[in-house]
Structure 1
Amino acid sequence: MRWWLLSGLLIALLVIGSGLILTDDNSTEQVEDKNHDIKIPVLMYHHFSDDPQTSATITPDDFEEQLKFLKEHNFESIDVDDVITFVETGDDDHLPKRPVLITIDDGYRSTYTKAFPLLEEYNFDATLFMITERINQLSDEGYDFLTDDELLELEEAGIKVESHSVSHVPFTERKEDEQDHEWRNRIQNELEESKEVLEQLLERKVNYFAYPFGAWDTQIENWVVDAEYEGTFLVREGYVTEESHPQRLFRFGVTKDMTLDEFKSIFEPLLDEEEMN
């Protein structure tokens, strides 16, 4: 092999290894490497109140500080379709450099009155998992739930509405003296009826489910698949990666007692070292 051929091969290997490409005029330019070891943080919220009474309730001020952090560090919200495509194919070309999925469980009206204005202000979308028997439900204790019209408005604005069951009972817990077939029928009804209610309201297919209380086992997972849910979310901390199971997606719960530093620590593995200082 002639010396010029060896030299050309060596240059090509050096260029490829450095992430450069040769242009038409034989100059080089840097190619941005796609992150093939991507980790997607999924955040789980519930209720928003200026006077939080439960661990699952956070103040709008805390929520705003968290959104500010995400915006300042160039995180962009994605929806569940993006997550499932990534998990099922391993393809991350459709994802932003720093994706985050924001989820809100239960369907409290505070999602509309407290969280939604802040999501709009900071240009983030979210996914809402709705307990369907509580649609239009009012409370004397500040725990009103979303109305039909509010759900439609949220959906139109980019807050995707998915299922969180009919009545929000732990699926793994049986009623007293409940037989196997009775338990199965009850859980299947929770899955199918909630799906049907939302599909009629939204006039689209509902594809995703979040387990009430995160109560899950493999038998119930089979019933979820039979009900034609394409992806489900647990209450277990961890990132979504290309190794994740679409029916066992992890989330980071955000609670009243979580400090901003603790919130930031979720994202620490995804940031450059100097960004955490």
Structure 2
Amino acid sequence: MTGARVPILMYHAVTADPNDATRTLSVTPEAFADQMAVLADRGLTPLTTADLAARWRSGRPLPARPVLITFDDGYEGVHRHALPALAEHGFPATLFVTTGWVRGAYDTGGGLDTMLDWRQVRALADGGVEVGGHSHTHPQLDRIDDARLRAELTRCRDIVAGELGAPPVSFAYPYGYSSRRVRTAVRGHGFAQALAVGNSLARRAQGPYALRRVTVRRTTDAEEFERLVDGRAIGRTFVRDRALTKGYALVRRARRLRRPV
């Protein structure tokens, strides 16, 4: 299945009572549990990010209907609500932690809602969740200088390694933004693969440092979720998102060109 197109689901907060900052990109615990049941009922096989990339890198076959379940940032509801639903079906997943937002010794205070603590992160890892990196303070990595970029990646990698006993091998770009410079730095810091957003299916041809994901949000109903995991009409589903992304990309590019050298 080297030409396979794989849905990589991107979640953020899983909570019944989100705040304004996380509301749009949150799902309720009930919706998340229902969505995991859909994956099981439809015979999909969840993989971790590391497993998918390793299979594509080595040429090992994928299961008949692969899917990835990923979480960004590190919200407390991933442990409280998502982990039990994952465990019910024996599903692995990948959590990308912003290490400066996890509650504990390295907390920068920037978390957008109630965040995980390191005890909960370890419990997730023990429960079959791959823990990857998502930077230390969640900046737009392609807008910061080389020194800060190195600091964001080094701090994130070293904190995860210190807390879990092994360095993370997967990374997700904050906001989905990257550049050749950022991707080179991510690779140089030992991450073997990285995820963007893109709101389309992942393919081997995208390369291991630009794999695309589809966003699951509070407005994603049962019918839309089934379309996402089946790979149907994804372009129509995210047409507004893509228009906004392209427009913002032009603004960001213009700002970069205006920056003094």
The bucket for the TM-score relative to the shorter chain is: 0.7 to 0.9
Matched letter for residue 174 of structure 2: P
Check the 8 A contact 2:133/2:157 in 1, yes or no: yes
In structure 2, the residue matched to 1:222 is: 184
Counterpart position of 2:216: 254
Asked if structure 2 preserves the Cα contact closer than 8 Å seen for 1:87 and 1:241, the reply is no
Please state how far the C-alpha of 1:134 moved relative to its aligned partner: 1.6
Question: So what's the TM-score if we normalise by structure 1?
Answer: 0.76
Distance 1:267 1:215 in 2: 24
Q: Whose Rg is larger?
A: 1
Where does residue 163 of structure 1 map in the other structure? 133
Query: CA separation in 1, counterparts of 2:125 and 2:230?
Result: 31
Deviations 1:6-38 (A, max 9, x none): xxxxxxxxxxxxxxxxxxxxxxxxxxxxx4542
Q: TM-score, normalised by structure 2?
A: 0.81
1:90–1:242 contact (8 Å) kept in structure 2 = no
User: 1:269, 1:103 → 2: CA distance?
Assistant: 17
Unpaired runs of at least 5, structure 2: 233-261
What residue number does 1:143 align with?
113
Q: Does 1:206 align with 2:176?
A: no
Partner secondary structure for residue 56 of structure 2? helix
What percentage of residue pairs aligned between the two structures are identical? Answer: 27
Corresponding position of 2:54: 85
Note the 1:1-277 alignment, pairs <5 A. 35-53=1-19, 54-92=23-61, 95-136=62-103, 143-174=113-144, 183-269=145-231
Structure 1 segments of 4 or more deviating over 4 A? none
Cα deviation per residue 1:181-237 (whole Å; 9 max; x = unaligned)?
Answer: xx1000111011100000011111211110000111111111112112110110112
Amino acid at match of 2:99: T
The Cα shift of 1:142 comes to 9.0
Q: Return closer, same or farther for 1:233/1:36 CA change in 2, 3 Å cut-off.
A: closer
SS across alignment from 1:133: coil
Identify the residue that residue 13 of structure 1 maps to in structure 2.
Answer: none
